[in-house]
Structure 1
Amino acid sequence: MNRAPTSHRRPRTLRRVLIAAAAGVAALATALTALPAAQAGESGGESGGEEAPRYEVGGLPDALGNFFLSPGAVEGANDWECEPSAEHPEPVVLVHATGVNLGANWAQISPTLANEGHCVYGFNYGMGLLSMFGRIGGLRDVASSAGTLDAFVDRVLEATGAEQVDLVGHSQGGMMPHYYIKRLGGAPLVDDFVAMVPSNHGTTLSGLTTIGETLGLLGLVNGFFDLAGLEGLRDQEVGSEFMEALFADGDTVPGVDYTVITTRNDAVVTPYTNSLLDGPDVTNIELQEQCPDNPVGHVGVAFDGPTVQNIVNALGADDPDFQPACEDFGPSL
């Protein structure tokens, strides 16, 4: 999936202004500005270091700026003139998590993959009444969000002339494509599906759904979700009708290669083992098995060196014995 990068970049001045303002919140600023870019994104891809990367790899401060100022665009993505190469014939489609957007979620991974030679694309989905003018995504019901993915994949395939895409998703973005693959006929159009801490099989949200059910409040909460256009939250609960139906016929379908990346420190998708898939052509990766000291949490995986390296491997060499460098860990968020 070698890509032909765009010839221009977005101005970053306003983003830096926002980051500087955010630095006034001392605790948050300390955590964010201390994070280096992942080593995987620092290389020049095929150039072997002879050329500078075409795209600047961001980190969590850039994600914060993008959340407000660039929710619909991110460095390295959506060059509609990109021509997939023989080495990387499938364009990569990025699927963001609940509560964020394209610009925020992929500040590090999008330019990293673009610099590796992939044609990279991304979109926003699940925007509702409480989406803060297109900034908070993944709120609407998962089935309708999968319909948005369906249409976007068709657009990418038409623009690039490719026969299939690779999907890279985070949290809900690593679960929602299952509906596209299994229920909307997407399986023949997907080669590799890489999911970071996906909400497969639902979440107890660190036990909150269990407490709510015990107290008889879960139905009331779900009723509010429906009224407020937050069906995507309801759909991701452990035992939800949506989740039970989605995986009733098994976790996977033939022809798609699945990679799941999890962290034992996940406090959002709980238990973290719910992320894992069972079936042929599945590679389940627990980050702490590779790097025992990795503190990364659910949000932080999008800015975690080993996670990014695993994604690059899954979409590139696909070495089953791959071992990432244990450095540039993401935050424990």
Structure 2
Amino acid sequence: MIKNLSWSASTLLLALLPLLPASASAADDRHRAAGPDPVVFVHGWNSDGSTWQTMADRFRADGWPAGHLDQWTYNANQSNATVAVQLAEEIDRVLDATGAGTVDVVTHSMGALSSRYYLKNLGGAAKVDAWVSLAGPNHGTETARWCGGAPCIEMRPGSDFLATLNSGDETPGTPRYATWGSPCDSVINPADSVALDGAAHTTTACLDHSGLRTDRRVYEEVKAHIHPSVRR
């Protein structure tokens, strides 16, 4: 009888296994198997979405569907707070179009600021899985003193906009934050402006400001940050 009871208990356990909660690793595996999140690219000042072509082409070659790569263009002469509202609308559009639950946001230069405003102040942290800043003036750049208008004023070290943006937690919420900066970037001055408290930071090889968007090694590192399970 004991042998029969043992057999019955084992049979019951096997029958119940499909009903038990999946482990975190199993859930992660299913998430990865579903494919990478859509990527929303956010360009910098005096630029447009076409500047991401090299990186977007590499993502496509590595398995990202074309419809999951959004080379967004916006009016970069507006306040970064205004752009952040527009970015919120764009990300909602991408989520609706793709059916995804979250996006990854990859930014260059000033694009870091509007996207950070979105994450901190507009509920974006709940809709972004990974965030990337390439050559972002996250604590300001002296170069912005040579241009005018709202976004340039906001990029100047010590601006009211940056003081508010960097107050408290610089990397709020659950997104995985990462920054890349080059020792040869003459546009971001000082160079240590890029790094954020709470974000992984990488110092690149000697690249110019635009080179961080097109460098192969930087691309591979960005890809590993936003979706490490994807392989060529």
Partner of 1:15: none
Partner of 1:190: 128
Partner of 2:189: 270
| Structure 2 segments unaligned to the other structure (5+ residues) | 1-30
User: Deviations along 1:83-111, whole A, 9 cap, x unmatched?
Assistant: x97353411101011111111x1120011
Partner of 1:328: none
CA distance in 2: counterparts of 1:159 and 1:172, whole angstroms: 26
| 3-state secondary structure, aligned to 1:112 | helix
Contact 1:96 1:173 in 2 (8 A): yes
Partner of 1:88: 35
| 3-state secondary structure, aligned to 2:33 | coil
Contact 1:175 1:195 in 2 (8 A): no
Partner of 1:121: 70
CA distance in 2: counterparts of 1:316 and 1:183, whole angstroms: 25
Aligned match for 1:247, one of 142, 154, 166: 166
Contact 1:89 1:162 in 2 (8 A): no
| 3-state secondary structure, aligned to 1:107 | helix
Aligned match for 1:298, one of 209, 215, 220: 209
CA distance in 1: counterparts of 2:166 and 2:35, whole angstroms: 30
Q: CA RMSD in A?
A: 2.0
Partner of 2:3: none
TM-score normalised by length of structure 1: 0.56
Matched, 1:156 2:94: yes
| Structure 1 segments unaligned to the other structure (5+ residues) | 1-83, 128-137, 213-220, 288-293, 320-333
- How many angstroms does 1:297 deviate by? 1.2
Which amino acid in 1 is paired with 2:37?
Answer: E
CA distance in 1: counterparts of 2:60 and 2:77, whole angstroms: 28
TM-score normalised by length of structure 2: 0.79
Matched, 1:142 2:50: no
Between the aligned residues of both structures, percent identity stands at: 28
Partner of 1:285: 202
- How many angstroms does 1:198 deviate by? 0.8
| Structure with greater Cα Rg | 2
> Per residue, is there more helix in 1 or in 2?
2
Structure 2 matches for 1:1-333, cutoff 5 A?
Answer: 86-103=33-50, 105-118=51-64, 119-125=68-74, 127=75, 138-205=76-143, 209=145, 225=148, 230-279=149-198, 282-287=199-204, 294-317=205-228
Which amino acid in 2 is paired with 1:283?
Answer: A
CA distance in 2: counterparts of 1:113 and 1:235, whole angstroms: 32
- How many angstroms does 1:201 deviate by? 1.1
Q: How many residues align?
A: 197
CA distance in 2: counterparts of 1:157 and 1:233, whole angstroms: 30
User: Deviations along 1:2-40, whole A, 9 cap, x unmatched?
Assistant: xxxxxxxxxxxxxxxxxxxxxxxxxxxxxxxxxxxxxxx
